[in-house]
Amino acid sequence: MIGYAVRRLIVAIPTLLIIIALAFFMMRIAPGGPFDQERSLPAQIEQNLRAAYHLDEPVWQQFGRYLGGLLRGDFGPSFKYRDFSVTELIAAGFPVSLQIGAAAILFAVLVGGGLGALAAVHQNRTPDHAAMAVATVGLALPNFVVAPLLTLCLGVYLDLLPVGGWGSPAQAVLPIATLALPQIATIARLARAGLVEVLRADYIRTARAKGLPGWRVLARHALYPAVVPVVSYLGPAIAAVITGSVVVETIFGIPGVGRYFVQGALNRDYTLVMGVVVLYAGLIIALNLVVDLVYGWLDPRVRYD
């Protein structure tokens, strides 16, 4: 397993390099620049600004300079937040995004796993149909639709929760629920499918024939192998929740990395957008590796050849 992890890390290096290169050159090819909103400045001052940020150099030279900074752990200065470096902005915003994402995933696993288990145990009956109907609705509604709906219903009309800001537990409820709903739907469907298959296995019928209670058969014999499909999904899901917080953080006014990413893209802040892209790409690669290793631990039949 250790050798497999090392090989995956070695493969991840060129993958990450390709992502960085694509993002870097696409940002440069797109029309506009970081100082387009400051055209009122004299041409000499704008030229000095471009020279200060090395934007007057050839693109390939800028790319080499950026890679050199990454190797030193330096994401470069922000073009718009000129009193901060990109590293400082990410260090300030990522813990907020991580808190929201981790809470959303935990909530999704508990609720989605419970719905999936309920549907599997009562297969083709009313609880099964009701749970899958909820899952279908969750899959059909994107974040940018769920967020305004929750805001109107729970925040504006019922006045139960604050509709924006960050700092109190109440302000975290709506964004966490918005992020968790699609994941609840997917996890419920995966848990149901996995548990239905396991409950049909011969060893489950044997355990029942020995007179074991239904809850013990479910908890000790069926639940463990049934979570394998859910675990394999959690790596991309965690990355999707954290990256999907871009929309949610913007809607609810949360000072996370996703909000910085949107503002950086609108302001043509090259280094800020690149810093978030590198962070998310590294996070996705690392989480996929962790999930592969956990998958092998859960299912000894998996080989890392």
* CB 220, CB 181: distance < 8 Å: no
- Is 197 inside any structural domain? yes
Of 140, 154, 295, 282, residue with least CA distance to 233: 295
pLDDT of residue 146: 85
**What interhelical angle do 126-140 and 86-121 show, nearest 10?**
160
Domain residues for the domain of 238 are: 93-256
- Surface-to-core class of residue 30, CB atoms within 10 Å of its CB (0-12 exposed, 13-18 middle, 19+ buried): exposed
pLDDT digits (tens, 9 = 90+) for 129-148: 888 888 888 878 877 788 88
The amino acid that residue 19 corresponds to is: I
pLDDT tens-digit series, residues 196-223: 887 777 767 777 777 766 666 666 666 7
- Determine contact, residues 260/276, Cβ cutoff 8 Å: yes
Res. 56: pLDDT tops 80: no
| 184: in domain | yes
Indicate the pLDDT class of residue 40, thresholds 50, 70 and 90: low
Q: Examine the pLDDT at 41 and tell me if it is beyond 70.
A: no
Contact assessment for residue 151 and residue 108, using Cβ atoms and an 8 Å cutoff: no
79-104: average pLDDT:
85
Q: Averaged over 160-180, what is the pLDDT?
A: 86
State the CATH number of the domain containing residue 157.
1.10.3720.10
Contact criterion met (CB below 8 Å) for 247 and 144: yes
What six digits make up the tokens of 148?
């305004």
> Of all residues in the chain, what percent carry a pLDDT higher than 90?
2
* Residue 227 maps to a domain: yes
Do residues 105 and 183 lie in contact, with contact meaning Cβ atoms separated by under 8 Å?
yes
* Within-domain flag for 128: yes
List residues bridging with 206 in a β-sheet: none
Q: Is residue 280 in a domain?
A: no
Q: Is residue 287, in this structure, part of any structural domain at all? A: no
Query: pLDDT tens, 260-289?
Result: 887 787 778 888 888 888 888 888 888 877
Q: In this structure, what are the phi and psi dihedrals at residue 77, rounded to the nearest 5 degrees?
A: -80, 150
Tallying the residues shown for the chain, one arrives at: 305
- Residue 180 resides in a domain: yes
In a domain, 1, yes or no: no
Instruction: Please check the confidence at residue 291 and state whether its pLDDT lies above 60.
Output: yes
User: What residues are paired with 77 via a beta bridge?
Assistant: 85
The pLDDT value given to residue 107: 92
> Number of folded domains in the chain?
1
Q: What is the DSSP string of the chain?
A: -HHHHHHHHHHHHHHHHHHHHHHHHHHHHSS--TTGGGTTS-HHHHHHHHHHTTTTS-HHHHHHHHHHHHHTT---B-SSSTTSBHHHHHHHHHHHHHHHHHHHHHHHHHHHHHHHHHHHHTTTSHHHHHHHHHHHHHHHS-HHHHHHHHIIIIIIIS--S--S-SSSHHHHHHHHHHHHHHHHHHHHHHHHHHHHHHHTSHHHHHHHHTT--HHHIIIIIIHHHHTHHHHHHHHHHHHHHHHHHHHHHHHHT--SHHHHHHHHHHTT-HHHHHHHHHHHHHHHHHHHHHHHHHHHHH-TT----
Mean pLDDT of the chain: 80
